[in-house]
Every structure is written in C-alpha cells, then in structure tokens.
Amino acid sequence: MTEHEHVRVAVVGSGFGGLGAAVRLRREGVTDFVVLERAGSVGGTWRDNSYPGCACDVPSHLYSFSFAPNPEWPRTFSGQDHIRAYLEHVTDLFGLRPHLRFDSEVKVMRWDAEKLHWEIETASGTLTADLVVSATGPLSDPKIPDVPGIDTFPGKIFHSARWDHDYELRGKRVAMIGTGASAIQIVPAIQPEVERLTLFQRTPPWVMPRMDRAISGAERWLHRQLPFITKARRGLLWGIRELQVQAFTKRPEELGLVERLAKRNIARAVKDPELRARLTPDYRIGCKRILLSNTYYPALTRPNVDVVASGLARIEGSTLVAADGTTAEADAIVFGTGFHVTDMPIAERVVGADGRTLAETWKGGMQSLRGATAAGFPNWMTIIGPNTGLGNSSMILMIESQLNYLADFVRQLDVLGGRVALDARPGAVDAWNHRVQERMRRTVWNTGGCNSWYLDANGRNTTIWPGTTTEFRSATRRVDLAEYEVLRAPIPGLSPAPEKTEVQA
Ligand code: NAP
C-alpha cells in the first residue's frame, strides 16, 4: 500500500480563514501543517473578486485581523487591491509561505476510521492529515443561473467573481444581471464606458450612503506611532455594530426608521418618480444585506442605463428576455448572481465515517456544532461554517472566534493524547441548531418578507448568526468535550474498531 506524506493539520483555502488558521496553528506551537490552495496565490475571495469597483463595505480597521493591525489603510473602506495586498503581507509577516501548497485543489477527502486520519486527494498529490480545517469560505464558488437559451448567446459571458480583464467593455451593450453587493459596485464603475447598460433587477436592494473617505497621512502617522488609537478605532467600529445588531435580531420593527433614511437616499439621487418606484424595495430593510453606495443610484439615472425591474428569464441569441417580457440586446452579460452558499461545494468532496459525503448528510440543510464541526466527520472543522454569517459587521470577528475553537480543539487532542479523534455528537449538533433556529425566528432575516441567499432551498436560514459577535465569541471559546465522542485507534490484534470513550461533562 502506498504511504503518503502525513501532516498533523491540513488547512484548505488561503483566504482570511485559511491564513488565520495557519497563524493560529503556529501560535499554538503546531508547525506540521500545510495550507492547500487551488489557485496560485493567497487571498481567497479577495483574490478572485477583481471586478471594477470591488471594495469592502466594512471599514478596514474592523475588516482585518486583530493580531495584525494595519496602520496604513488608505481609506475607511478599502478597495480589493489593498485587502489582497494586506493578506499577502500577513502571509509574509507570519512566515506562512513554507506551508503553502498552490495549485492543490482538493478533489476528495476521506475519513479513515481505522487509522483515524483523513486521506486527501489534491490536484498536486495525495496526503494524509490528523485534522482538517476547511476554510473554503461561503463566497468562493460563483453561481450562474441556468437560464434557458444561455448557450445561444453569441457574445461574452462572465461572472462578477471571474472578471475577464482582457475583454474590452468600452462601447459595448452590456447586460448586468443581479443587484446584490457585487452588482451595485460594478454598475457605477462600468456605466461611463459602456455604450448601453441594461440592469436586470429581480428584487431592488436597500442602499444607504457610504461614508467613505481617504485616511489622511496625519491619521496614519498617529496609527503608526500610537497603536492604541488603532485599537480604539477598531473598538468603536465594533461596538456600534454590536449595538445595531439588536434591531436585526430582536426588534426588526425598529428598522422602519432606517427605511425612511434609505428612501430619502433614493429620492435625493433619483428624481424620476417612475424609476424611483422601481428602485424602492417592498420588504423590511436588513432582510437582505444593506448595501452601501453613493454612486449606484446616480449611475442608474444616466441616459445610457435601463433598469428592467424583472429577472432574466431566457436568452434568444443576443436578445435577453425578462420575466415580464421586456427585451434587451447585449454584446456581453455580466452575472452578479452570487455564490453557492447553502449548498457549500466542498461538502460534496468530504466523505465521513459512514461513507456518506457531507453534502448527503446536509441534504436537508447544513447544520454544524458551533459553526465548526459535523457529526460523523471526526477531526474535521470548518471556518465560518453554518450560521456564522453576519448581516452588519466584520466576518473577521467570526473567523477569529472559530480560530479560538480550533486552538482549543488542538489542545484537547493533545491532552487526550495518543491516536485520537473528536466526533461531534448528533445530540449536541441538534441542540445547538435548535437554539440557533429558535433565536432566528424573530430576526429580520426570517421575518422581513424577502428571499435572500441566507435561506436554503427549504427556506431555513443556515447562514446567519442570530446574535452578537460577543455571544459567538463566548460560545466558541472552549471545546466542550461532553459534546464530542472521543475515538481512539484500535490496538492491533485487540479491538476490531475504534473505541468510543464516554467523557463526562
Ligand atoms: P448576491 O447578494 O447573492 O446577489 C445576487 C443577485 O443576483 C441578486 O440581486 C439576485 O436577485 C440576482 N439574480 C439571481 N438570479 C437572477 C436572475 N435570473 N435575474 C435577475 N437577477 C438575478 O451576490 P453578490 O452581489 O455577489 O453578493 C454576495 C455577497 O458577497 C454579499 O451579500 C456580501 O456578503 C458579499 N460581498 C461583499 C462585498 C463587500 O463590499 N464587502 C461586495 C460584494 C459582495 P434576488 O435578490 O431577487 O435574489
């Protein structure tokens, strides 16, 4: 039998989650690990999304690692290039390069119940690992809807997250499909150069002003000289969002006031009442992600832009037909139609203890223990797994909470000693999800009257965390061994299968 390279931990993905896991493992004294990356550089979603206008709508001093503050952020809301450069910098700063394996897309990972390790087949070879940290991110695999007739379109088609920079949009008739966070950044960026822009809007988003500004040289100097100022700034940005989230989770009715401000934002930019009506949402603000832009509405009022207030239904050659029958001619189609979130693609490639894939296990809906582990998938955890998403704050806060959980998971394995694995108990997974879904019932994401990517095919919200980041931090501080079965490798010639050890709470 072939012996493969063995590592203690295999991290999958090198975005914020994977790099964060790598830093944390090193800090815990674990150096025997690799980071498997399907592409040729680090950065995850911030490498893949390079569309015109791409920027983060969470302020950079909060959208960065607490352990790697950056006094040099040039703007309050940084662009993709700066965030990507920051992740490259973090990679160097923490000496992560030797751990990186590029062009190593994971094809399949299988749990070996006898040897208590994962066998991982990648594009660059096979290896085994005691523990897998899956940090593939929820926004990594683009979703293009299966529009009838798409193969009859003679022009150019691409997704917002796979921008073709070699294709010249100047002077072209472009159809933009979707009005999510990506599309509202793309529209104002390309509108001045295209001949005609037709926006297919199935559901109007709520858009609020974006308080973006350059961070002055003097401010940056202060951040460099007095690190506590950087900390205080981060603390303030975090605290405001911690208070705001209460309205989303407990008192959605209070969001009516915010809706009035958002309507004023539309009215300021859009004078035509008919267009204004088309752009005004009919669901509670916050139900879908609140978008931030000062340039989106003004761009829609330009003479070369048409807003079709209906989804794209079919394509007949170069003619795009909306569900309401409106037609538009196009040379290029840009799909800003989001990602495979609730049907996490990596799940099809993870084969657990009973031979079933994680996707099969989750066919009724994703569910994990504390956003991290899944029953029947020992020593496997995901960073920002089910119900860890945020509607209004920085995902880096959630990632860092899960890194605490990872660190304690590794410590627990050390304390237990020997060849050992932890498998989430089904009862613990159910109890956690019951609590999460109970709290979800009154949130704006479930009651706001919209259909968002937070909900899965069964209408269950398996993406959002229905609380504050502080609550999640405290729920993931420690691994509670009572929530796990401890598996031990059989002693050769003595026991036929891994032993399960009961651990008392
Ligand atoms: P998204 O929010 O999932 O939006 C997809 C859009 O495509 C929706 O407007 C959807 O309409 C529309 N759509 C789907 N099929 C359609 C059809 N047949 N015809 C017309 N429209 C159709 O995707 P996204 O904009 O890429 O954003 C995904 C997430 O990425 C965001 O929510 C955010 O978390 C993150 N992101 C963040 C930033 C940032 O600044 N930090 C920037 C970009 C993205 P419906 O609304 O009707 O479903």
Question: Nearest CA to 337 among 202, 460, 454?
Answer: 202
Task: State the Cα–Cα distance between residues 218 and 19, nearest whole angstrom.
Answer: 31
Question: Nearest CA to 453 among 177, 119, 181, 75?
Answer: 181
Residue 231 lies in a domain: no
Q: Is the CB of 312 under 6 A from ligand 1?
A: yes
pLDDT at 206: 98
Q: Which of 291, 313, 335 is the last residue of a domain?
A: 335
Question: Ligand 1, closest atom to CA 453?
Answer: 3
Q: Which three-class secondary structure state does DSSP give residue 24?
A: helix
Question: Ligand 1, closest atom to CA 55?
Answer: 40
The residue to mutate among 179, 285, 293, having the most atoms of ligand 1 within 8 angstroms of its beta carbon, is: 179
Task: State the Cα–Cα distance between residues 309 and 323, nearest whole angstrom.
Answer: 9
Q: Which of 293, 310, 335 is the last residue of a domain?
A: 335
Residues 260, 297, 323: CA angle, nearest 5 degrees: 95
Q: Is the CB of 453 under 6 A from ligand 1?
A: yes
Task: State the Cα–Cα distance between residues 486 and 129, nearest whole angstrom.
Answer: 17
Task: State the Cα–Cα distance between residues 179 and 185, nearest whole angstrom.
Answer: 9
Residue 219 lies in a domain: no
Parallel, antiparallel, or unpaired for β 312-316 and 319-322? antiparallel
Nearest residue by C-alpha to atom 14 in ligand 1: 337
How far does residue 338's CA lie from ligand 1's centre (Å)? 4
One domain, residues 158 and 181: yes
Q: What is the mean pLDDT of residues 25-31?
A: 97
Whether the per-residue pLDDT at 371 is higher than 90: the answer is yes
Helices (H), 64-215: 80-93, 183-190
pLDDT at 354: 95
Whether the per-residue pLDDT at 76 is higher than 90: the answer is yes
Residue 449 lies in a domain: yes
Whether the per-residue pLDDT at 342 is higher than 60: the answer is yes
Q: Is the CB of 15 under 6 A from ligand 1?
A: no
How far does residue 143's CA lie from ligand 1's centre (Å)? 10
One domain, residues 180 and 244: yes
Q: What is the mean pLDDT of residues 115-135?
A: 98
How far does residue 86's CA lie from ligand 1's centre (Å)? 25
How far does residue 205's CA lie from ligand 1's centre (Å)? 9
pLDDT at 366: 96
Task: State the Cα–Cα distance between residues 117 and 496, nearest whole angstrom.
Answer: 17
Contacts of 43 (CB under 8 A, 6+ apart): 14, 15, 84, 87, 88
Residue 23 lies in a domain: yes
Task: State the Cα–Cα distance between residues 188 and 299, nearest whole angstrom.
Answer: 5
Q: What is the mean pLDDT of residues 368-396?
A: 97
Q: What is the mean pLDDT of residues 179-205?
A: 98
Q: Are 273 and 241 in contact (CB under 8 A)?
A: no
The DSSP secondary structure of 159-196, one letter per residue, reads: EGGG--TTS--TT-EEEEE--STTHHHHHHHHTTTSSE
One domain, residues 351 and 494: yes
Q: How many residues does the chain have?
A: 505
Contacts of 377 (CB under 8 A, 6+ apart): 111, 350, 352, 353, 358, 361, 423, 424
Q: What is the CA radius of gyration of the chain?
A: 24
One domain, residues 179 and 299: yes
Burial label for 211, CB within 10 Å (0-12, 13-18, 19+), is exposed
Q: Is the CB of 100 under 6 A from ligand 1?
A: no
pLDDT in tens, 42-51: 999 999 999 9
Nearest residue by C-alpha to atom 43 in ligand 1: 182
Question: Nearest CA to 339 among 139, 178, 202?
Answer: 139
Q: What is the mean pLDDT of residues 252-256?
A: 94
The residue to mutate among 393, 453, 454, 463, having the most atoms of ligand 1 within 8 angstroms of its beta carbon, is: 453
pLDDT at 3: 78
Q: What's the Cα-to-Cα distance from 175 to each of 135, 157, 253, 268, 312, rounded to whole Å?
A: 33, 10, 36, 26, 10
Q: Which of 335, 356, 380 is the last residue of a domain?
A: 335
One domain, residues 243 and 303: yes
Residue 177 lies in a domain: yes
Whether the per-residue pLDDT at 497 is higher than 60: the answer is no
One domain, residues 404 and 426: yes
Q: How many domains does the chain have?
A: 2
Token duo for residue 236 = 């303030």
How far does residue 312's CA lie from ligand 1's centre (Å)? 14
Q: Is the CB of 52 under 6 A from ligand 1?
A: no
Token duo for residue 210 = 């974006």
Whether the per-residue pLDDT at 179 is higher than 80: the answer is yes
How far does residue 153's CA lie from ligand 1's centre (Å)? 22
One domain, residues 382 and 452: yes
Q: Which three-class secondary structure state does DSSP give residue 322?
A: strand
One domain, residues 207 and 314: yes
Q: What is the mean pLDDT of residues 7-16?
A: 98
Residue 218 lies in a domain: no
Q: Are 455 and 342 in contact (CB under 8 A)?
A: yes
The DSSP secondary structure of 195-217, one letter per residue, reads: SEEEEE-SSPPPEE-----BPPH
Q: What is the DSSP letter of 32?
A: -
Residue 220 lies in a domain: no
Parallel, antiparallel, or unpaired for β 305-308 and 312-316? unpaired
Residue 225 lies in a domain: no
One domain, residues 188 and 255: yes
pLDDT at 505: 37
pTM for the full model? Answer: 0.95
Averaged pLDDT score across all residues of the chain: 95
Whether the per-residue pLDDT at 399 is higher than 70: the answer is yes
Q: Is the CB of 249 under 6 A from ligand 1?
A: no
One domain, residues 167 and 135: no
How far does residue 164's CA lie from ligand 1's centre (Å)? 19
pLDDT at 9: 98
Q: Are 370 and 392 in contact (CB under 8 A)?
A: no
Could you give the dihedral angle defined by the CA atoms of residues 123, 129, 131 and 136, in that order, rounded to the nearest 10 degrees?
Answer: -10
Task: State the Cα–Cα distance between residues 466 and 480, nearest whole angstrom.
Answer: 21
3-state DSSP: the chain helix, strand, coil percent, rounded to 5?
35, 20, 45
pLDDT band at 493 (very low <50, low <70, confident <90, very high): low
pLDDT band at 492 (very low <50, low <70, confident <90, very high): low
The CATH code of the domain that includes 172 is 3.50.50.60
Domain span holding position 128: 5-141+340-502
Question: Nearest CA to 274 among 300, 255, 299, 256?
Answer: 300
Q: Is the CB of 200 under 6 A from ligand 1?
A: yes
